[in-house]
Structure 1
Protein backbone atom coordinates (compact mmCIF):
# COMPACT_ATOMS: atom_id res chain seq x y z
CA UNK A 1 0.00 0.00 0.00
CA UNK A 2 0.96 3.65 -0.26
CA UNK A 3 1.31 6.12 2.59
CA UNK A 4 -0.46 9.32 1.56
CA UNK A 5 0.59 12.49 3.37
CA UNK A 6 0.73 16.26 3.08
CA UNK A 7 3.75 18.36 4.05
CA UNK A 8 3.90 22.10 4.66
CA UNK A 9 5.97 24.87 6.19
CA UNK A 10 5.20 28.24 7.73
CA UNK A 11 7.24 31.31 8.69
CA UNK A 12 6.07 34.40 10.53
CA UNK A 13 8.28 37.04 8.96
CA UNK A 14 10.31 34.89 6.54
CA UNK A 15 12.77 34.78 8.17
CA UNK A 16 11.08 34.63 11.51
CA UNK A 17 9.58 32.06 13.85
CA UNK A 18 9.01 29.07 11.59
CA UNK A 19 7.28 25.72 11.69
CA UNK A 20 6.93 22.59 9.62
CA UNK A 21 4.49 19.69 9.66
CA UNK A 22 3.43 16.60 7.81
CA UNK A 23 0.01 15.02 8.14
CA UNK A 24 -1.38 11.57 7.36
CA UNK A 25 -4.43 11.66 9.62
CA UNK A 26 -5.42 13.00 13.04
CA UNK A 27 -3.60 10.13 14.75
CA UNK A 28 -0.49 10.27 12.56
CA UNK A 29 1.31 13.59 12.15
CA UNK A 30 4.41 15.42 13.29
CA UNK A 31 5.44 19.06 13.61
CA UNK A 32 8.38 21.14 14.73
CA UNK A 33 10.22 24.34 13.92
CA UNK A 34 12.77 26.97 14.90
CA UNK A 35 12.91 30.34 16.58
CA UNK A 36 14.02 31.81 13.27
CA UNK A 37 14.04 30.32 9.80
CA UNK A 38 12.34 30.61 6.42
CA UNK A 39 9.22 29.19 4.86
CA UNK A 40 11.23 27.20 2.30
CA UNK A 41 13.31 25.53 5.02
CA UNK A 42 10.08 24.64 6.77
CA UNK A 43 8.70 23.08 3.59
CA UNK A 44 11.89 21.08 3.05
CA UNK A 45 12.11 19.96 6.67
CA UNK A 46 8.52 18.73 6.61
CA UNK A 47 9.34 16.41 3.71
CA UNK A 48 12.65 15.32 5.25
CA UNK A 49 11.05 14.42 8.57
CA UNK A 50 8.26 12.57 6.77
CA UNK A 51 10.81 10.52 4.83
CA UNK A 52 12.81 9.74 7.97
CA UNK A 53 9.69 8.90 9.98
CA UNK A 54 8.43 6.42 7.38
CA UNK A 55 11.81 4.95 6.44
CA UNK A 56 11.07 1.61 8.11
CA UNK A 57 7.46 1.34 6.95
CA UNK A 58 8.34 -0.49 3.70
CA UNK A 59 5.62 1.43 1.87
CA UNK A 60 5.52 3.67 -1.16
CA UNK A 61 4.91 7.32 -0.32
CA UNK A 62 2.78 10.01 -1.94
CA UNK A 63 3.26 13.59 -0.74
CA UNK A 64 0.90 16.49 -1.35
CA UNK A 65 2.86 19.74 -1.29
CA UNK A 66 1.88 23.33 -2.09
CA UNK A 67 5.49 24.42 -2.68
CA UNK A 68 6.61 24.27 -6.31
CA UNK A 69 10.10 25.14 -5.07
CA UNK A 70 10.27 21.93 -3.04
CA UNK A 71 8.84 19.72 -5.78
CA UNK A 72 11.10 21.18 -8.48
CA UNK A 73 14.15 21.06 -6.22
CA UNK A 74 13.65 17.39 -5.41
CA UNK A 75 12.46 16.14 -8.80
CA UNK A 76 14.20 18.39 -11.35
CA UNK A 77 17.04 20.53 -10.07
CA UNK A 78 18.84 18.36 -7.54
CA UNK A 79 20.80 16.13 -9.98
CA UNK A 80 22.36 19.19 -11.62
CA UNK A 81 23.16 20.78 -8.28
CA UNK A 82 24.87 17.60 -7.11
CA UNK A 83 27.02 17.38 -10.24
CA UNK A 84 28.19 20.93 -9.59
CA UNK A 85 28.95 20.28 -5.92
CA UNK A 86 25.73 21.91 -4.74
CA UNK A 87 26.55 25.07 -6.66
CA UNK A 88 24.26 27.18 -8.81
CA UNK A 89 25.11 28.33 -12.33
CA UNK A 90 26.65 31.50 -10.90
CA UNK A 91 28.99 29.46 -8.70
CA UNK A 92 27.26 30.35 -5.46
CA UNK A 93 26.09 27.73 -2.99
CA UNK A 94 22.59 26.40 -3.49
CA UNK A 95 20.28 27.75 -0.80
CA UNK A 96 19.36 25.20 1.88
CA UNK A 97 22.00 22.77 0.59
CA UNK A 98 22.27 21.12 4.02
CA UNK A 99 18.62 20.07 3.96
CA UNK A 100 18.74 19.21 0.27
CA UNK A 101 21.73 16.91 0.79
CA UNK A 102 19.89 15.16 3.61
CA UNK A 103 16.79 14.87 1.43
CA UNK A 104 18.86 13.37 -1.38
CA UNK A 105 20.04 10.65 0.99
CA UNK A 106 16.55 10.09 2.43
CA UNK A 107 15.02 9.72 -1.04
CA UNK A 108 17.58 7.12 -2.12
CA UNK A 109 15.88 3.77 -2.67
CA UNK A 110 12.41 5.12 -1.88
CA UNK A 111 9.41 5.15 -4.21
CA UNK A 112 8.07 8.66 -3.61
CA UNK A 113 5.55 10.61 -5.68
CA UNK A 114 5.05 14.34 -5.20
CA UNK A 115 1.85 16.10 -6.21
CA UNK A 116 1.40 19.86 -6.15
CA UNK A 117 -1.77 21.25 -4.63
CA UNK A 118 -2.74 24.89 -4.46
CA UNK A 119 -2.36 26.25 -0.95
CA UNK A 120 -5.45 27.37 0.94
CA UNK A 121 -7.76 25.73 -1.59
CA UNK A 122 -9.69 23.57 0.89
CA UNK A 123 -7.55 20.50 0.26
CA UNK A 124 -8.21 18.76 3.57
CA UNK A 125 -4.80 17.18 4.09
CA UNK A 126 -2.87 20.25 2.96
CA UNK A 127 -4.93 22.45 5.27
CA UNK A 128 -4.26 20.07 8.17
CA UNK A 129 -0.50 20.21 7.57
CA UNK A 130 -0.61 23.99 7.16
CA UNK A 131 -2.54 24.43 10.42
CA UNK A 132 0.02 22.38 12.33
CA UNK A 133 3.03 24.10 10.75
CA UNK A 134 1.56 27.50 11.57
CA UNK A 135 0.76 26.38 15.13
CA UNK A 136 4.40 25.36 15.59
CA UNK A 137 5.64 28.71 14.26
CA UNK A 138 3.22 30.56 16.52
CA UNK A 139 4.41 28.55 19.52
CA UNK A 140 8.03 29.47 18.82
CA UNK A 141 6.98 33.10 18.46
CA UNK A 142 5.18 33.18 21.80
CA UNK A 143 7.48 30.84 23.71
CA UNK A 144 4.69 28.35 24.25
CA UNK A 145 5.00 24.58 24.13
CA UNK A 146 5.23 23.34 20.55
CA UNK A 147 2.47 20.88 19.53
CA UNK A 148 4.62 18.18 17.95
CA UNK A 149 2.00 15.46 17.42
CA UNK A 150 2.21 11.67 17.83
CA UNK A 151 4.66 11.07 14.97
CA UNK A 152 4.29 8.23 12.50
CA UNK A 153 1.77 5.67 13.70
CA UNK A 154 0.89 2.88 11.26
CA UNK A 155 -2.85 2.84 10.69
CA UNK A 156 -4.68 0.20 12.68
CA UNK A 157 -7.67 0.34 10.41
CA UNK A 158 -7.35 0.19 6.67
CA UNK A 159 -9.31 -0.83 3.62
CA UNK A 160 -7.16 -2.44 0.97
CA UNK A 161 -8.16 -1.97 -2.66
CA UNK A 162 -6.74 -4.66 -4.92
CA UNK A 163 -7.05 -3.94 -8.64
CA UNK A 164 -8.18 -7.07 -10.50
CA UNK A 165 -5.92 -7.64 -13.51
CA UNK A 166 -6.59 -11.35 -14.03
CA UNK A 167 -9.75 -13.48 -14.24
CA UNK A 168 -11.83 -13.39 -11.09
CA UNK A 169 -11.55 -16.46 -8.85
CA UNK A 170 -14.46 -18.76 -8.10
CA UNK A 171 -17.33 -17.07 -6.31
CA UNK A 172 -16.53 -18.70 -3.01
CA UNK A 173 -12.92 -17.46 -3.18
CA UNK A 174 -13.82 -13.95 -4.38
CA UNK A 175 -16.01 -13.15 -1.40
CA UNK A 176 -15.03 -10.14 0.65
CA UNK A 177 -12.91 -11.17 3.60
CA UNK A 178 -12.70 -9.52 6.98
CA UNK A 179 -10.20 -10.26 9.72
CA UNK A 180 -9.43 -8.37 12.89
CA UNK A 181 -5.95 -6.84 12.86
CA UNK A 182 -3.66 -8.66 15.30
CA UNK A 183 -2.81 -5.66 17.44
CA UNK A 184 -5.97 -3.62 16.89
CA UNK A 185 -8.93 -3.09 19.23
CA UNK A 186 -11.73 -5.65 18.98
CA UNK A 187 -13.94 -3.13 17.16
CA UNK A 188 -11.35 -2.61 14.43
CA UNK A 189 -11.54 -4.73 11.29
CA UNK A 190 -9.27 -4.99 8.28
CA UNK A 191 -11.30 -5.40 5.08
CA UNK A 192 -9.83 -6.50 1.76
CA UNK A 193 -11.78 -6.87 -1.47
CA UNK A 194 -11.07 -7.31 -5.17
CA UNK A 195 -12.35 -4.64 -7.53
CA UNK A 196 -11.79 -4.08 -11.27
CA UNK A 197 -8.87 -1.83 -12.12
CA UNK A 198 -11.02 1.01 -13.46
CA UNK A 199 -13.04 1.12 -10.22
CA UNK A 200 -9.90 1.19 -8.07
CA UNK A 201 -8.51 4.02 -10.21
CA UNK A 202 -11.77 5.97 -9.89
CA UNK A 203 -11.84 5.54 -6.10
CA UNK A 204 -8.28 6.81 -5.80
CA UNK A 205 -8.96 9.74 -8.14
CA UNK A 206 -12.07 10.87 -6.26
CA UNK A 207 -10.38 10.50 -2.87
CA UNK A 208 -7.38 12.55 -3.96
CA UNK A 209 -9.68 15.27 -5.32
CA UNK A 210 -11.10 15.60 -1.80
CA UNK A 211 -7.71 15.39 -0.13
CA UNK A 212 -8.51 12.20 1.78
CA UNK A 213 -7.21 8.64 1.71
CA UNK A 214 -8.76 6.19 -0.76
CA UNK A 215 -9.41 3.86 2.18
CA UNK A 216 -11.30 6.60 4.00
CA UNK A 217 -13.33 7.39 0.88
CA UNK A 218 -14.19 3.71 0.39
CA UNK A 219 -15.22 3.44 4.05
CA UNK A 220 -17.61 6.38 3.54
CA UNK A 221 -19.16 4.70 0.51
CA UNK A 222 -19.66 1.45 2.40
CA UNK A 223 -21.16 3.30 5.37
CA UNK A 224 -23.63 5.25 3.21
CA UNK A 225 -24.61 2.09 1.35
CA UNK A 226 -25.37 0.25 4.58
CA UNK A 227 -27.40 3.19 5.89
CA UNK A 228 -29.53 3.14 2.75
CA UNK A 229 -30.25 -0.59 2.93
Structure 2
Protein backbone atom coordinates (compact mmCIF):
# COMPACT_ATOMS: atom_id res chain seq x y z
CA UNK A 1 0.00 0.00 0.00
CA UNK A 2 1.19 3.52 -0.78
CA UNK A 3 0.11 6.55 1.18
CA UNK A 4 -0.34 9.48 -1.20
CA UNK A 5 -0.22 12.93 0.34
CA UNK A 6 0.25 16.51 -0.76
CA UNK A 7 2.46 19.00 1.06
CA UNK A 8 2.31 22.74 0.48
CA UNK A 9 3.37 26.05 1.97
CA UNK A 10 2.18 29.63 1.83
CA UNK A 11 3.64 33.01 2.80
CA UNK A 12 1.78 36.31 2.73
CA UNK A 13 4.30 38.83 1.49
CA UNK A 14 7.06 36.21 1.23
CA UNK A 15 8.49 36.71 3.75
CA UNK A 16 5.55 37.30 6.01
CA UNK A 17 3.02 35.25 7.99
CA UNK A 18 3.44 31.75 6.64
CA UNK A 19 1.63 28.46 6.75
CA UNK A 20 2.24 24.83 5.93
CA UNK A 21 -0.09 21.88 5.42
CA UNK A 22 -0.09 18.27 4.37
CA UNK A 23 -3.20 16.44 3.25
CA UNK A 24 -4.11 12.78 2.67
CA UNK A 25 -7.88 12.95 3.07
CA UNK A 26 -10.43 14.73 5.23
CA UNK A 27 -9.58 12.55 8.24
CA UNK A 28 -5.82 12.77 7.80
CA UNK A 29 -4.30 16.23 7.48
CA UNK A 30 -2.46 18.83 9.50
CA UNK A 31 -1.56 22.51 9.22
CA UNK A 32 0.48 25.09 11.06
CA UNK A 33 2.84 27.96 10.44
CA UNK A 34 4.60 30.92 12.01
CA UNK A 35 4.17 34.70 12.29
CA UNK A 36 7.08 35.28 9.89
CA UNK A 37 8.67 33.07 7.27
CA UNK A 38 9.09 32.39 3.57
CA UNK A 39 7.14 30.26 1.16
CA UNK A 40 10.11 27.90 0.85
CA UNK A 41 10.20 27.43 4.61
CA UNK A 42 6.51 26.61 4.60
CA UNK A 43 6.98 24.09 1.79
CA UNK A 44 9.88 22.40 3.59
CA UNK A 45 8.07 22.38 6.94
CA UNK A 46 5.02 20.74 5.34
CA UNK A 47 7.11 17.82 4.07
CA UNK A 48 8.93 17.53 7.40
CA UNK A 49 5.69 17.47 9.39
CA UNK A 50 4.25 14.85 7.04
CA UNK A 51 7.31 12.63 7.49
CA UNK A 52 7.15 13.00 11.26
CA UNK A 53 3.40 12.34 11.39
CA UNK A 54 3.67 9.12 9.35
CA UNK A 55 6.83 7.85 11.06
CA UNK A 56 4.82 5.09 12.75
CA UNK A 57 3.89 3.34 9.51
CA UNK A 58 5.97 1.16 7.21
CA UNK A 59 3.94 2.03 4.14
CA UNK A 60 5.54 3.72 1.15
CA UNK A 61 4.92 7.46 1.10
CA UNK A 62 4.28 9.34 -2.16
CA UNK A 63 4.53 13.09 -1.58
CA UNK A 64 3.04 15.47 -4.13
CA UNK A 65 4.73 18.90 -4.16
CA UNK A 66 4.37 21.91 -6.39
CA UNK A 67 7.82 23.16 -5.32
CA UNK A 68 10.75 22.10 -7.49
CA UNK A 69 13.00 23.68 -4.85
CA UNK A 70 11.82 21.23 -2.20
CA UNK A 71 12.04 18.17 -4.44
CA UNK A 72 15.45 19.05 -5.87
CA UNK A 73 16.80 19.93 -2.41
CA UNK A 74 15.88 16.53 -1.00
CA UNK A 75 16.50 14.31 -4.04
CA UNK A 76 19.37 16.03 -5.88
CA UNK A 77 21.29 18.63 -3.92
CA UNK A 78 21.30 17.36 -0.33
CA UNK A 79 24.01 14.67 -0.71
CA UNK A 80 26.44 17.24 -2.11
CA UNK A 81 25.54 19.79 0.55
CA UNK A 82 26.26 17.25 3.27
CA UNK A 83 29.64 16.30 1.78
CA UNK A 84 30.59 19.97 1.75
CA UNK A 85 29.50 20.61 5.32
CA UNK A 86 26.13 22.04 4.30
CA UNK A 87 27.70 24.44 1.84
CA UNK A 88 26.54 25.15 -1.71
CA UNK A 89 28.73 24.78 -4.77
CA UNK A 90 29.71 28.44 -4.54
CA UNK A 91 30.83 27.98 -0.92
CA UNK A 92 27.90 29.85 0.56
CA UNK A 93 25.81 28.38 3.37
CA UNK A 94 22.77 26.29 2.49
CA UNK A 95 19.57 28.23 3.11
CA UNK A 96 17.14 26.80 5.65
CA UNK A 97 19.83 24.43 6.91
CA UNK A 98 17.92 23.55 10.07
CA UNK A 99 14.97 22.30 8.05
CA UNK A 100 17.24 20.51 5.57
CA UNK A 101 19.02 18.63 8.34
CA UNK A 102 15.72 17.71 9.97
CA UNK A 103 14.42 16.43 6.62
CA UNK A 104 17.57 14.39 6.12
CA UNK A 105 17.03 12.75 9.49
CA UNK A 106 13.31 12.15 8.91
CA UNK A 107 13.98 10.50 5.54
CA UNK A 108 16.34 7.84 6.92
CA UNK A 109 14.97 4.32 6.54
CA UNK A 110 11.80 5.56 4.84
CA UNK A 111 10.44 4.52 1.46
CA UNK A 112 9.60 7.98 0.11
CA UNK A 113 8.95 9.14 -3.44
CA UNK A 114 8.29 12.70 -4.58
CA UNK A 115 6.04 13.74 -7.45
CA UNK A 116 5.96 17.27 -8.85
CA UNK A 117 2.53 18.71 -9.60
CA UNK A 118 1.69 22.12 -10.99
CA UNK A 119 0.16 24.32 -8.30
CA UNK A 120 -3.28 25.88 -8.73
CA UNK A 121 -4.01 23.49 -11.58
CA UNK A 122 -6.81 21.38 -10.14
CA UNK A 123 -4.79 18.59 -8.52
CA UNK A 124 -7.20 17.55 -5.73
CA UNK A 125 -4.71 16.82 -2.95
CA UNK A 126 -2.57 19.84 -3.81
CA UNK A 127 -5.59 22.12 -3.77
CA UNK A 128 -6.62 20.79 -0.36
CA UNK A 129 -3.12 21.29 1.09
CA UNK A 130 -2.86 24.76 -0.47
CA UNK A 131 -6.19 25.82 1.05
CA UNK A 132 -5.10 24.74 4.52
CA UNK A 133 -1.62 26.25 4.29
CA UNK A 134 -3.05 29.56 3.11
CA UNK A 135 -5.67 29.51 5.87
CA UNK A 136 -2.91 28.97 8.45
CA UNK A 137 -0.89 31.89 7.06
CA UNK A 138 -3.97 34.11 7.23
CA UNK A 139 -4.60 33.00 10.81
CA UNK A 140 -1.10 34.09 11.82
CA UNK A 141 -1.58 37.34 9.93
CA UNK A 142 -4.70 37.95 12.02
CA UNK A 143 -2.84 36.85 15.18
CA UNK A 144 -5.18 33.90 15.61
CA UNK A 145 -4.53 30.23 16.27
CA UNK A 146 -4.66 28.25 13.00
CA UNK A 147 -6.87 25.22 12.54
CA UNK A 148 -4.36 22.41 12.87
CA UNK A 149 -6.36 19.40 11.76
CA UNK A 150 -6.66 15.85 13.12
CA UNK A 151 -3.13 14.75 12.18
CA UNK A 152 -2.43 11.24 10.93
CA UNK A 153 -5.22 8.90 12.01
CA UNK A 154 -5.27 6.54 9.04
CA UNK A 155 -6.34 3.05 10.10
CA UNK A 156 -4.24 -0.05 9.53
CA UNK A 157 -5.57 -3.15 7.75
CA UNK A 158 -6.49 -4.54 11.15
CA UNK A 159 -8.67 -1.53 11.82
CA UNK A 160 -6.55 -0.04 14.59
CA UNK A 161 -5.64 3.63 14.31
CA UNK A 162 -2.00 4.39 13.66
CA UNK A 163 -0.79 6.86 16.25
CA UNK A 164 0.60 9.80 14.33
CA UNK A 165 2.14 13.02 15.54
CA UNK A 166 -0.72 15.46 15.16
CA UNK A 167 0.61 18.89 16.16
CA UNK A 168 -2.19 19.43 18.70
CA UNK A 169 -4.72 16.75 19.58
CA UNK A 170 -8.33 17.71 19.09
CA UNK A 171 -9.94 18.55 22.41
CA UNK A 172 -6.66 19.34 24.14
CA UNK A 173 -7.74 22.97 24.64
CA UNK A 174 -11.44 22.66 23.95
CA UNK A 175 -10.67 22.38 20.24
CA UNK A 176 -13.23 21.04 17.86
CA UNK A 177 -12.69 18.08 15.55
CA UNK A 178 -10.84 20.26 13.04
CA UNK A 179 -8.05 21.23 15.46
CA UNK A 180 -7.98 24.64 17.11
CA UNK A 181 -11.23 26.33 18.08
CA UNK A 182 -12.26 28.80 15.37
CA UNK A 183 -12.88 32.44 16.12
CA UNK A 184 -16.65 32.00 16.16
CA UNK A 185 -16.56 29.36 18.85
CA UNK A 186 -15.90 25.66 19.43
CA UNK A 187 -17.82 23.14 17.40
CA UNK A 188 -17.91 25.20 14.20
CA UNK A 189 -16.42 23.15 11.36
CA UNK A 190 -13.99 24.78 8.98
CA UNK A 191 -15.31 25.21 5.45
CA UNK A 192 -12.43 25.83 3.01
CA UNK A 193 -12.57 28.98 0.95
CA UNK A 194 -14.22 28.47 -2.44
CA UNK A 195 -11.86 27.42 -5.20
CA UNK A 196 -12.34 28.81 -8.65
CA UNK A 197 -11.91 26.55 -11.65
CA UNK A 198 -11.88 22.76 -11.85
CA UNK A 199 -11.80 22.17 -8.09
CA UNK A 200 -14.88 24.24 -7.24
CA UNK A 201 -17.28 22.29 -5.05
CA UNK A 202 -15.07 19.20 -4.95
CA UNK A 203 -13.77 19.23 -1.39
CA UNK A 204 -15.93 16.22 -0.65
CA UNK A 205 -13.90 14.21 -3.21
CA UNK A 206 -10.36 15.31 -2.43
CA UNK A 207 -9.24 11.89 -1.24
CA UNK A 208 -9.08 10.51 -4.77
CA UNK A 209 -5.38 10.56 -5.73
CA UNK A 210 -5.90 8.96 -9.15
CA UNK A 211 -7.06 12.20 -10.74
CA UNK A 212 -4.01 14.00 -9.35
CA UNK A 213 -1.64 11.34 -10.63
CA UNK A 214 -3.18 11.40 -14.10
CA UNK A 215 -3.07 15.18 -14.33
CA UNK A 216 0.47 15.35 -12.95
CA UNK A 217 1.74 13.26 -15.85
CA UNK A 218 0.70 16.07 -18.21
CA UNK A 219 2.31 18.87 -16.22
CA UNK A 220 5.38 20.70 -17.51
CA UNK A 221 8.22 21.86 -15.22
CA UNK A 222 8.10 25.51 -14.19
CA UNK A 223 11.86 26.03 -14.04
CA UNK A 224 14.98 24.97 -15.88
CA UNK A 225 17.29 22.50 -14.22
CA UNK A 226 19.53 24.16 -11.65
CA UNK A 227 22.67 23.47 -13.70
CA UNK A 228 21.17 25.34 -16.66
CA UNK A 229 20.67 28.51 -14.66
CA UNK A 230 24.38 29.26 -14.53
CA UNK A 231 25.04 29.06 -18.27
CA UNK A 232 26.33 32.33 -19.67
CA UNK A 233 26.78 34.09 -16.32
CA UNK A 234 30.43 34.79 -17.08
CA UNK A 235 29.70 36.35 -20.47
CA UNK A 236 30.63 40.01 -20.87
CA UNK A 237 27.61 42.34 -20.73
CA UNK A 238 26.33 43.72 -24.00
CA UNK A 239 27.60 47.17 -25.05
CA UNK A 240 24.06 48.39 -25.42
CA UNK A 241 21.93 46.78 -22.70
CA UNK A 242 18.25 46.35 -23.44
CA UNK A 243 15.72 47.24 -20.77
CA UNK A 244 12.87 44.77 -20.54
CA UNK A 245 9.74 45.37 -18.50
CA UNK A 246 7.31 42.59 -17.66
CA UNK A 247 4.19 42.39 -15.54
CA UNK A 248 4.01 39.45 -13.13
CA UNK A 249 1.01 38.06 -11.32
CA UNK A 250 1.26 37.66 -7.56
CA UNK A 251 1.79 33.91 -7.99
CA UNK A 252 4.52 34.43 -10.60
CA UNK A 253 6.27 36.97 -8.38
CA UNK A 254 6.18 34.55 -5.44
CA UNK A 255 7.68 31.77 -7.56
CA UNK A 256 10.46 34.05 -8.79
CA UNK A 257 11.12 35.08 -5.20
CA UNK A 258 11.36 31.42 -4.19
CA UNK A 259 13.82 30.74 -6.99
CA UNK A 260 15.96 33.73 -6.02
CA UNK A 261 16.00 32.64 -2.40
CA UNK A 262 16.93 29.09 -3.35
CA UNK A 263 19.89 30.38 -5.40
CA UNK A 264 20.84 33.06 -2.86
CA UNK A 265 20.56 35.89 -5.41
CA UNK A 266 18.42 38.95 -6.05
CA UNK A 267 15.15 38.83 -7.95
CA UNK A 268 16.81 40.58 -10.89
CA UNK A 269 19.64 38.05 -10.96
CA UNK A 270 17.20 35.13 -10.75
CA UNK A 271 15.33 36.50 -13.74
CA UNK A 272 18.60 36.95 -15.63
CA UNK A 273 19.49 33.30 -14.98
CA UNK A 274 16.14 32.12 -16.29
CA UNK A 275 16.62 34.12 -19.46
Does TM, normalized by the shorter one, top 0.5?
A: yes
- Assess if the C-alpha contact under 8 Å between 2:123 and 2:212 holds in 1: no
RMSD, aligned CA: 2.1
Determine the structure 2 residue equivalent to 1:94: 94
Q: Give 1:26 shift.
A: 0.7
Structure 1, unaligned runs of 5 or more: 159-180, 185-202, 212-229
Determine the structure 2 residue equivalent to 1:30: 30
* CA distance 1:182–1:29, shift in 2 (3 Å): closer
Determine the structure 1 residue equivalent to 2:52: 52
User: Could you list the per-position Cα deviations for residues 54-112 of structure 1 after superposition, in whole angstroms to 9, with x for gaps in the alignment?
Assistant: 00111110000000000000000000000000001222110001100010010011110
Determine the structure 2 residue equivalent to 1:72: 72
Cα distance in 1 for partners of 2:57, 2:159 equals: 17
Q: Give 1:2 shift.
A: 1.0
* CA distance 1:78–1:183, shift in 2 (3 Å): closer
Question: 204, 208, 217: which one pairs with 2:213?
Answer: 208
Determine the structure 2 residue equivalent to 1:17: 17
**1:85 lines up with 2:78 in the alignment:** no
Structure 2, unaligned runs of 5 or more: 162-207, 217-275
Determine the structure 1 residue equivalent to 2:197: none
* CA distance 1:16–1:46, shift in 2 (3 Å): same
* CA distance 1:204–1:95, shift in 2 (3 Å): closer
* CA distance 1:204–1:70, shift in 2 (3 Å): closer
Q: SS of the residue aligned with 1:133?
A: helix
User: Could you list the per-position Cα deviations for residues 11-58 of structure 1 after superposition, in whole angstroms to 9, with x for gaps in the alignment?
Assistant: 001110000000000110000000000000000000000000000111
Cα distance in 2 for partners of 1:89, 1:6 equals: 30
- Assess if the C-alpha contact under 8 Å between 2:33 and 2:140 holds in 1: yes
Cα distance in 2 for partners of 1:137, 1:206 equals: 27
Q: Give 1:209 shift.
A: 1.9
- Assess if the C-alpha contact under 8 Å between 2:27 and 2:154 holds in 1: no
- Assess if the C-alpha contact under 8 Å between 1:124 and 1:210 holds in 2: no
Equivalent residue pairs, number: 170
* CA distance 1:205–1:145, shift in 2 (3 Å): closer
* CA distance 1:183–1:74, shift in 2 (3 Å): closer
* CA distance 1:182–1:63, shift in 2 (3 Å): closer
- Assess if the C-alpha contact under 8 Å between 2:18 and 2:36 holds in 1: yes
* CA distance 1:182–1:116, shift in 2 (3 Å): closer
Cα distance in 2 for partners of 1:45, 1:207 equals: 22
TM-score of the aligned structures, taking structure 2 as reference length: 0.59
Cα distance in 2 for partners of 1:182, 1:209 equals: 29
Determine the structure 1 residue equivalent to 2:61: 61
* CA distance 1:182–1:23, shift in 2 (3 Å): closer
Q: SS of the residue aligned with 1:31?
A: strand
